Structure 1
């Protein structure tokens, strides 16, 4: 029977009678596994050559790309979590990043459905499967699978990104995995990788306060935008993770300054985000708070940095102009300052005539509305999902 691929479907009663048998059975159709991540055996070349255990994400709502590449036909999204043959080559490698099973642990990649076997509950429509005599004990991964379908979406979670939210709430939280955003030299002037944790994605999905990791991710997205518009030489992005008030702060700022570009510098002080712009040796402050606030320590450090930069260029050493944009849009509530900083950068990049200098210098100040801030939130979520 194991060699007869044209055998008739096996009835449930017959499966019960054959309990404990070692032979392979052929199942034409059974009910599909429950929605959400499910544990599978992953094979290479032939079904008996098992190289790993993993989880498959097969929800129709999820975008059909992996690391920005379209998912091939008859392939599924899988995440390797247990290794059988660590040096085995994965079927769809990512050159220089994920080429072996060992390198694939914790990351999503494509795997042929013909080489996938549903592990916990016996046969599936993908392939024939020997019955397992004793079910494995539940581990952290299986617990996460059980919780996946029970996740209650917050009202603020966009329907379009519910799978990303569930992935972060269950799988990433249980396995302590991260979504990695690679940044080349064009983004921050140095190659680096952003590691997004489950709490970062949940906060963004639920429209809660943001940290530098999410803002850095959006800056990477904006860098691609200006690159596609062939305006990369007009802007520079200062990595929010690389500067604080330390002894070398001024030295670092001097090293990144360039007269010909507008520098975006998100800055956090006392859990509050604001945007600093340095352009042509002038310093501009955009603060989402509804009332005027000064940051003298930051102003003094930046003034010293610009003076040092001018001295290196052989210019007359004088204090740069510090400008507070009193008319820049304010935040609608009390915790949206991170989203406002992201929106400031987007608005400036899309303002081809640079009218924001006049518009935001006015004291006639308006407020961003939730819809304005949701635009940058959706852009960031969509960008992150492409790296799952």
Structure 2
């Protein structure tokens, strides 16, 4: 989920009739979006406005991603509860440079950066992460499978005192969910400030995961699981920035004293993120890739 698979152009068949009629499929629209990002990407025109580390990453990418090359990195068990390969592609960097919609790969890399922040602050026993590729709406299996993925991560992060940070990609939108499993409390953050419906599928998935977690530990629950909508979070200004805002939420949660984000965002407020704060996230992400993935 949120990843791109390398595929030869000569093995792609386009439906010319649908394109001519203007009734493009979702897949065709995604292909068109990819082409638009590629056409719009011009480092020289962007260079002066890009954060320093992102400039360096883009400059490396001019040669490093030639001929369809990618960069392999590993999701580590101590960070995500699993060991698995993942690939950084040219398109990931282009999206980051253009402030276009972010991929799951970029979200995972920023989580990995935040893990190092937690480690430096001796807080790795307080916050855990789960790979969004396990819990998204598309390609992640049934609702039960997704619940089990969350439960397994809560079990593997059993020593974590406070919460497990989750991101979820809802078809074309990133949200953030933070679970406090011991207190059976869930914090919900949607950059569009939409409240989670009482009968929503995502709520059922998380509730089921917590019930499974409770059963595995032979622990009695207190009854209903409490969901708290974080109405005071900064909201995204357009439909392309949800991923950047979710990353900034995670950053602020970790940097906030005693993880007191619920007190800060629990009620409606006029909190906003300026471009400098979003660029801080982009630069931190690019800097992590340059230093730790590319080893430059």
Same fold (TM over 0.5): yes
Pairs aligned (count) = 238
- TM-score normalized with structure 1 length: 0.57
Q: Secondary structure at the match of 2:45?
A: coil
> Which whole-Å CA distance do the structure 2 matches of 1:305 and 1:183 have between them?
22
Over aligned residue pairs, what C-alpha RMSD do you find? 2.2
Equivalent position of 2:66 in the other structure: 174
Aligned residue for 1:180, secondary structure, equals strand
Which of 142, 152, 162 is residue 255 of structure 1 equivalent to?
A: 152
Q: Name the structure with the higher strand share.
A: 1
2: CA distance between counterparts of 1:151 and 1:366?
Answer: 32
Kindly state the Cα deviation for residue 256 of structure 1 after the two structures are TM-superposed. Answer: 1.6
Counterpart position of 1:207 = 99
Is the aligned partner of 1:307 residue 2:211? yes
Among candidates 173, 178, 186, match of residue 277 of structure 1: 178
What's the counterpart of residue 363 of structure 1?
268
Q: Which residue of 2 aligns with 1:157?
A: 50
Normalized per residue, the structure richer in helix is 2
Higher relative contact order (CA 8 A, sep 6+): 2
3-state SS of paired residue (1:248): helix
Are 1:330 and 1:365, in contact at CA under 8 Å, matched by a contact in 2?
A: no
Query: Which residue of 250, 257, 275 maps to 1:352?
Result: 257
Q: Is the 1:332–1:368 Cα contact (8 Å) retained in structure 2? A: no
CA distance in 2, matches of 1:161, 1:346: 18
CA contact (8 A) 1:188 1:237 kept: yes
Q: How does 1:82-101 map to 2 (within 5 A)?
A: none
Write the distance in 2 (CA, Å) between the matches of 1:307 and 1:184: 26
Structure 1 residue 239: deviation in Å? 0.9
The answer on whether the counterparts of 2:53 and 2:286 sit within 8 Å (CA) in structure 1 is: no
| Structure 1 unaligned spans of 5+ | 1-149
Give the C-alpha shift of residue 250 in structure 1: 1.7
Q: CA 1:312/1:158 → structure 2, altered by over 3 Å: closer, same or farther?
A: closer
Structure 1: how far apart are the matches of 2:271 and 2:43? 38
CA contact (8 A) 2:107 2:247 kept: yes
Q: Is the 8 A contact 1:332 1:370 kept in 2?
A: no
Say whether the 8 Å CA contact 1:157–1:165 is kept in structure 2. Answer: no
Larger radius of gyration: 1
Q: Unmatched 5+ residue regions in structure 2?
A: 1-41
Aligned to 1:353, what secondary structure does the other structure show? helix
